[in-house]
Amino acid sequence: MKVQLQTYGCQMNKLDTALVSSALKAAGFGLTDGVKEADVVLINTCSVREHAEQRVLSHLGHLKHIKESRPELVVGVIGCMAQRLGRQLLEDKTVDIVCGPGQIPQIVTLVREALDGKKKTLSITEKIRQKPDKDNALDNFESAYGIEDKEIPGQAFVRVMRGCDKFCSYCVVPYVRGVEVSRPLKVIIEQIKRLAGNGVKQVTLLGQRVNAYKYSAGEKIFCLVDLLSMASEINGIEWIRFVTSFPSKEFFDEILQAMATLPKVCNYLHLPAQSGSDRILQAMNRGYSCNEYLELLNRARAVVPAIAIAGDFIVGFPGEMEEDFQATVGLVKKARYKNCFIFKYSPRPGTNADKKLEDDIPAEIKKKRNIELLDIQNKISEGLSRQFLNKTVEVLVEGPSKKSHLNRRDSEMDSTSSPHNKPQLAGRTATDYIVVFNGPQTLAGQFAKVKITKTSALTLFGELNQ
Ligand code: 5AD
Ligand code: SF4
C-alpha cells in the first residue's frame, strides 16, 4: 500500500509529516510522490491564515474528482485544520480520516482501519485548552520515529515544546496546538544523541516560543540554555539552531551568552516583532513596546556582534492607521533584519482579534503595505548580503538548489555565465544565509567552504573552494 503525504505550513508541520512518514514506513507502507500510485493521501494542514486553509480546501476539491473514479482512495486530513474544523471536515464526502496534531501517534491505526472498512474516523483533542494528562504517547512517538526520515541530509528538527499559552490576539496556534508543554530535557538530549549517531550534524530545536523552554526535574528548573549546552557536548553535532523566539526578557541574556560562548550554537535569532506601533502591539497582546523590542536587538548585537536576526510582521491588523504602519516601517529600518516574513492580517475564527475587532483594513491597503515593507526590507537585505562579496563562508550543504528560477535569473543577469557554472547546490551558513553554488551532489549533508562572487537580497552565489 502506498501513501502520498503533502504538507502545508510551518517547520512544526514538516516535522510532524516526517514523524508520520517514518511511522508509516515502519508499519510497511510505501511512500509515493504521485497521487496516481497512492492508495492513501494524507494532507498535513495549516490554519495560521485563511489562505493556507483555502489551499487545502481546493486540494480536497481536486481529490474529490479523483475519488469519483477511484472510490477506494483513502483521504486523510491531519494537523491544525483537522483540529480546528474537526467534524465539519469529516462531513466532506472526500475525507475519510480527520486527525489532530496531538493524535498523530494513532495515524497507522487510523489508516489501516480506513483501508479495511472504509469507515470515517475523527481523532482530535476534545478540550484543546485542557492541560494534557501525563500521556507519553506523543513523546514516545516523537522519540521513536523521525531518525531515518530526514528530508535534508545531515539535518534534523527536534521539538522541545508543544503548544502555546501566549494568546497573541490574532493567532490560532493556542487553539489548535493546545497548552504549552516543554518536553523532558533528558528525552530531548537522548534523541539528539541518537540523531548524532545516525549522522546528523545540525539540529534545530523547535518551539512556538522556544526561548521559553522550561522543564522542572526535582529541584532543578532547566531552560533553553541547558539544552544548548548539553547538546553542544554531543559528538557529531556541529551546529545547533533554535526557532522561534518570543521577544521577552526572560532568559534572553543567558541565551545570548550561550550563543556567544558555545561555538556550536549558530549566531541566528528569529525574533518576530509583528508591528512597530505600540498601540497595535498592545491590541495584539504581545506584551512589549517597540522600544523594548529594539532594546532586545541592541543587547543581542552587543553580546553576539555577528548575529543575524530575522523578523515577522503582520500588516493590516484591525485599526492599523497609516501612522501605525509608518512606525512599523521605522522599526524595520532600525532593526536591520537579515530577512523578514511579512503577512497580511487574516482573521482567524475563535481568536480574540476576530471576536472583538473588525477586519477593517481594505485588502488593497494590506497589499500596498506588504509590498512597501518588503521593498524596504529587500534593500536592507541586499546591503547586508553585499558584505559577503569576495569572502569565504562555511555552509552546511542541503542538496540540489530547489529554486530553479535562481539558476534562470542567474543566467539572465549575467550573460557571461555558461551553463557550466550555473549554481546547482544550495546550503546555509550558520547565520542562515542561503548560498547557491556549483558542486557535486555528494556534498549534500557535508560542510563546504564557498567563496561568494555575487549577491542578491536573499541569496549568496559563489564558487566551491576546492
Ligand atoms: N494573520 C496573519 N499573519 C499571522 N501570523 C500568525 N497569525 C496570523 C494571522 N491571523 C503570522 C505571524 C507569525 C507567523 C508564523 O504568522 O507573523 O509570526
Ligand atoms: Fe501565536 Fe503568539 Fe503563540 Fe506565537 S507566541 S504561536 S504568535 S500565540
List, for residues 126-175, the tens digit of each pLDDT value: 999 898 877 678 888 888 876 655 678 999 999 999 999 999 999 999 99
What integer pLDDT is reported at residue 421 of this predicted model? 46
Alpha carbon of 167 to ligand 2 centroid (Å) = 6
- Helix and strand element counts for the chain (H, E): 16, 21
Q: What is the SS3 assignment for 450?
A: strand
Ligand 1: residues whose CB is within 6 Å?
48-49, 170-171, 272, 274, 312, 314, 343, 345-346, 348
- Tell me the pLDDT tens digit for each residue of 58-90: 999 999 999 999 999 999 999 999 999 999 999
Q: Are 38 and 21 in contact (CB under 8 A)?
A: no
Q: Is 210 in the pocket of ligand 2 (CB under 6 A)?
A: no
What integer pLDDT is reported at residue 135 of this predicted model? 67
Cis peptide before 94 (omega within 30 of 0): no
Q: Is 208 in the pocket of ligand 2 (CB under 6 A)?
A: yes
Q: Is 316 in the pocket of ligand 2 (CB under 6 A)?
A: no
pTM over 0.85: yes
- Tell me the pLDDT tens digit for each residue of 91-137: 999 999 999 999 999 999 999 999 998 689 999 999 998 988 776 78
With cell 522543564, the residue in question is: 215
| Type and span of the H or E element at 77 | strand 74-79
Determine how many CB atoms are found less than 10 A away from the CB of residue 225.
20
Alpha carbon of 49 to ligand 1 centroid (Å) = 7
| Mean pLDDT of the 186-209 span | 95
Print the SS3 string covering 99-158.
ECHHHHHHHHHHHHHHHHHCCCEEECCCCCCCCCCCCCHHHHHHHHCCCCCCCCCCEEEE
| Dihedral angle sign, alpha carbons of residues 352, 358, 360, 364 | positive
With cell 483513502, the residue in question is: 74
What integer pLDDT is reported at residue 409 of this predicted model? 42
What integer pLDDT is reported at residue 408 of this predicted model? 45
| Mean pLDDT of the 453-463 span | 96
Percent of the chain residues topping a pLDDT of 70: 94
What Å distances lie between residue 214 and 184, 217, 307, 356, CA to CA? 9, 10, 24, 32
Alpha carbon of 246 to ligand 2 centroid (Å) = 8
Quick one: which atom of ligand 2 is closest to the CA of 164?
3
| Mean pLDDT of the 316-336 span | 98
Quick one: which atom of ligand 1 is closest to the CA of 312?
17
Quick one: which atom of ligand 1 is closest to the CA of 244?
18
Examine the pLDDT at 368 and tell me if it is beyond 90. Answer: yes
Average pLDDT, the chain: 93
Helix axes 290-303, 252-261, angle to 10 degrees: 20
Which residues are registered as beta bridge partners of 7?
44
What integer pLDDT is reported at residue 147 of this predicted model? 62
Confidence of residue 404 (pLDDT cuts 50, 70, 90): low
Which residues are registered as beta bridge partners of 204?
157, 241
What integer pLDDT is reported at residue 150 of this predicted model? 62
With cell 523590542, the residue in question is: 293
Q: What is the SS3 assignment for 171?
A: coil
Q: Is 10 in the pocket of ligand 2 (CB under 6 A)?
A: no
Q: Is 286 in the pocket of ligand 2 (CB under 6 A)?
A: no
Examine the pLDDT at 242 and tell me if it is beyond 80. Answer: yes
| Mean pLDDT of the 225-231 span | 98
| Mean pLDDT of the 270-297 span | 98
